[in-house]
Amino acid sequence: MLPGNGPAASVGGNLMSGMQPSDDNDAIAIIGFAGRFPRTKDVEKFWRHLLAGDELITRFPGDWEGGVTPAHGITPEPEWFDAEFFDYSPAEALLIDPQQRVFLECCSEALERAGCDPARYSGAIGVYAGTASSSWRELLQADKAMASTLRRFQLHVTNTGDFLTMRVSYKLGLKGPAITVQTTCSTSLVAVHLAVQSLLGGECEIALAGGVSIQVPHPVAIPYDGGALAFDGYCRPFDARAQGTVTGDGAGVVVLKPLPEAIADGDHIHAVILGSAVNNDGSDKIGFTATSVQGQASAIRTAYEMAGVDTGTVGYVEAHGTATSLGDPIEISALTKAFQNGSGRTGFCRIGSVKSNIGHTDTAAGVIGLIKTTLAIEHGRIPASLHFEKPNPNIDFDSSPFVVNSELTEWPGTDGPRRGGVNALGLGGTNAHVVIEQAPLRDAPPDVAGPHLLVLSARTGQALADSAARLAGHLSAHPDIPLADVAWTLQTGRREFECRTHVVGSSHQAAARLLRRAGQVGTGPVLPPLTFLFSGQGGQYPGMARELYERHPAFRDRIDECIGLLEANLGASIRKILLADPGEEQAFAAAGENLKSTDTVQLTLFAVEYSLAGLWQSWGISPSSVLGHSLGAYAAACTAGVLSVAGALTLVVERGRLLGSLPAGAMLAVFLSEADLRSCLPADLSLAAVNDAAQCVVSGTADAVAEFQADLADRGIESRQLRSFSAFHSHLLDAVLNEFGSQVREVELRASEIPWISDMHGRMVSPDEARDPQYWVKHLRQTVRFADALSTALDTGPGILLEVGPGKTLTTLARGHQAFSSEHVLLTSLPRHTEKTSALSTVLDAAGGLWSRGFSLAWDRMQPAKRRHVPLPTYPFQRKRLAPNTFSPEASGSPQSSVPPVRADSEPARSDSHQAHTAATDMGERERLLADAFREVLGLQEITVDANFFDLGGDSLIAVRLADVIGRVFGVKILVRTIILSPSVSELLPHLSELLAHLSPQDEY
């Protein structure tokens, strides 16, 4: 119990002077914040203004009575709001107090800055905040076009401060406590204190805390004698010329998290809260609105005791600092009493007040002071407290611990971390103080060179373009931020919306350049089917697995698995081919020579394709179907579960051995249709593959292939010899089919777990086929009918084909297929051997392509090391002005002024409206009027007759308004439940017509 006061609520730990806060499990990290400030819409610009010593208060010129100068800190465009982003109809958003709209936006931004996506965060997130009183309800009721449809309960829900935090929890999907706080000027700092208690008590894992005070329209407050407002319009805390405070608008919110969890999660920690305390002056003062030295000192002292901090180590205090003749001296006396604690030490702590920059922001003042102090501690610079020249004669600074920080100052050197305090005093006596400290030093994650995947999403195409432009500018301006951390923050710390794009960059400059021209991709309501295409022989090259092997364990483990299942010498040879480094010229050339051997090239390709499939699956990408071309069928079957990796390798080894035992062969791609080719194909050559309507492959001995190629050239027919030294799928294999069949019968064959498209006949492989050894014997010999297989993959409609192997051979074939359309997407996993693109860039670009089309990626498995969240530009809200008269024709210049309301003065009176509409036979006219009613209550310019009222942003309260408008227009009364059961114009129209035809105006339907 503190002497002379009630018990002070407090939180904190036991950190001693100079100890790092990371040792204390009770410390709370500030991991994000957002705000709105006079003349300023975001924290970054606000901080720049503070560093520049800018005053952001607006003074109103004119010949005011008494020579006063009215002033106010005006927050820009508070009535502008992105209703669509928060799933509000414009008309519903219009009813909501702008303070609550602004605070909702701030909470969304703060979570983004903290790298927290509520939809993917498993813990509970709480909200603690308060709001100032509002006159918005009166403005709405004064709008004659709206007044007749406004309901008292609807205005209560949209304008009462009680709903501030619950609205945030509802719209952002937060499951922790939602507590609205009201302690006048100390509201938002008390909210911080309560949020910290909630975190320490385990009620939530993350907490948002803050407040908002925005008046619309902004007031022109005229000072009067004996009042608290400054006559000259300047707020001069602690100065001899101080005449009082200046009012201002603002909002602020901080994101809080227990320090150990913030460190473990890799959050960006701006500062750490070590302790806080809240109390009330009680009756120990001269009046209800007066302040008490003893009460304030008690709360301040308790905060530092609970934090375990010696006040002598505190370098700065953000005071309440209202610049009133009575308030400032009392506050400094209380701070002095708490800080000196009998030591008599003076002049060691700087003090200031952000009110000198922006005015008194009422319920938001405390958290804005906290944001300012947090930034000062983080950056080691204390902004100037403005307009201080000579101290208030009632303040004895000489014998106090404090020096007014009247100019921008580097934080004084200290043996320990930087520490500060924030003071807030509520009119009525509720005092709050928070102790904060510099974030603990942490070793930076290891730098990860190379390309990184940056992903962006938004609700609209314009917002996506704006996001890309913002991020590009940020990367250009901050080349010191690790690009891997930027990628991680975007991947895991942002909500995922319908419009998406991605870029892959190895540097800030490259990523920024790509972002400026990034296109938009829409995910659609349903994921498109995804087919893995496993390529056959021809695209192989030395070192094709090296980059992925070095970076990604899932890929590396499968490569090692394959090599471990092979004989030692063969496995070592395969490893050298796969991991060959172009920088080691001799070894790289030797690896290229080894790839000319049929057995090694087949095993090398299988290992790469099997490992690529495993990499994709480890990233959360599973195919809807698989399709392999010739050799690729083994990797496809393995991925589908038909073959084990050991069984597949056994068959690939035997396949290579048998092919190697045959005479040398060759293969020739011929650009003719199958029918045209068969008409001129020599008897000593076989049709090995039909890849396209106008592209086939023939196979046979090298001499026969060369002779046929010369004959084709003489006839002007294009052909190209393939990189093969064996005659795959030719009559030459007839001699080894029985031997291969014996080997297949030794391998376990299972039914397919993933639909598997056969490249032998083009249809899905049946369970009986998958278990039949003879299928693989036929597959070795018969023609590859890849064009038919592509038809099966493409004819199902929109889909994605991902080539799982080196190069673009199969996706190129797919692009030329007659069934290919703009609804199909082609992606590749590895570059061609002739391309200078890295393997990492190619696979990440494909991953981005899948994400952009709605696929979820296991981001944590894609990063080689744990990363950190970093502050990045937040969502570019697409705001529109939503204020009384917004939807009326008289609202010139309004973004939505073209929406015509259903106006009472243009309608027949209720007494004859029933007769008029009953007599009307034009259903089109009724439909139009009903659609107008929908549009009026929703505030939308256009709707379709089949659009669902609730999908457009309607709810039960707006349905009440819709029923009222329908009654006013048609002269009948319709029940809300009818609207709920028939929520579109087309569904509601028959009910309305029946009502008009058979019921009197007084009846209900």
Residues in the chain: 1005
The CA distances from residue 520 to 88, 508, 513, 848, 855, in Å, are 24, 21, 16, 12, 15
Give the span between the Cα atoms of 860 and 491, in whole angstroms: 9
Q: Are 754 and 773 in contact (CB under 8 A)?
A: no
Residues 6 or more apart in contact with residue 286 via CB below 8 angstroms:
none
User: Beta strands 665-670 and 695-701: pairing type?
Assistant: antiparallel
Q: Are 362 and 132 in contact (CB under 8 A)?
A: yes
Nearest to 324, CA basis, from 382, 266, 242: 242
The CA distances from residue 899 to 84, 321, 642, 698, 859, in Å, are 16, 47, 61, 67, 44
Residues 6 or more apart in contact with residue 52 via CB below 8 angstroms:
none
Cα 995 vs. chain centroid, distance in angstroms? 48
Residues 6 or more apart in contact with residue 778 via CB below 8 angstroms:
760
Which residue reads 């007040």 in tokens? 353
Q: Which of 106, 107, 116, 185 is catalytic?
A: 185
Give the span between the Cα atoms of 211 and 248, in whole angstroms: 13
Give the span between the Cα atoms of 239 and 323, in whole angstroms: 7
Give the span between the Cα atoms of 674 and 708, in whole angstroms: 16
The CA distances from residue 8 to 210, 249, 301, 832, in Å, are 21, 30, 10, 70
Give the span between the Cα atoms of 475 and 509, in whole angstroms: 7
Q: Which of 360, 629, 729, 869 is catalytic?
A: 360
For 866-923, where are the E strands, in sequence order?
880-881
Residue by residue, DSSP assigns 418-432 as -EEEEEEE-TTSEEE
Nearest to 317, CA basis, from 400, 223, 236: 400
Is residue 779 annotated as a catalytic residue, yes or no? no
Q: Are 640 and 622 in contact (CB under 8 A)?
A: no
Give just the sign of the alpha carbon dihedral 185, 189, 193, 199: positive
Give the span between the Cα atoms of 67 and 786, in whole angstroms: 89
Is residue 349 annotated as a catalytic residue, yes or no? no
User: Beta strands 178-180 and 247-248: pairing type?
Assistant: unpaired
Q: Which of 320, 508, 761, 817 is catalytic?
A: 320
Nearest to 5, CA basis, from 229, 298, 209: 298
Amino acid in the structure at residue 290? A
Q: Are 163 and 244 in contact (CB under 8 A)?
A: no
> Token pair of 521, please?
């991709």
Q: Are 454 and 873 in contact (CB under 8 A)?
A: no
Q: Are 598 and 725 in contact (CB under 8 A)?
A: yes
For the CA atoms of 959, 960, 961, 967, what is the dihedral angle to 10 degrees?
110
Give just the sign of the alpha carbon dihedral 997, 1001, 1002, 1005: positive
Residues 6 or more apart in contact with residue 246 via CB below 8 angstroms:
57, 71, 72, 73, 229, 230, 233, 234, 235, 355, 359, 360
Is residue 993 annotated as a catalytic residue, yes or no? no
The CA distances from residue 581 to 274, 576, 584, in Å, are 53, 9, 6
> Token pair of 167, please?
């609205």
Radius of gyration of the chain (CA): 36
Is residue 719 annotated as a catalytic residue, yes or no? no
Q: Which of 169, 630, 726, 758 is catalytic?
A: 630
> Token pair of 93, please?
């958003």
Give the span between the Cα atoms of 88 and 83, in whole angstroms: 5
> Token pair of 765, please?
């492989």
Give the span between the Cα atoms of 981 and 990, in whole angstroms: 13
Amino acid in the structure at residue 906? S
Q: State the catalytic residues.
A: 185, 320, 360, 630
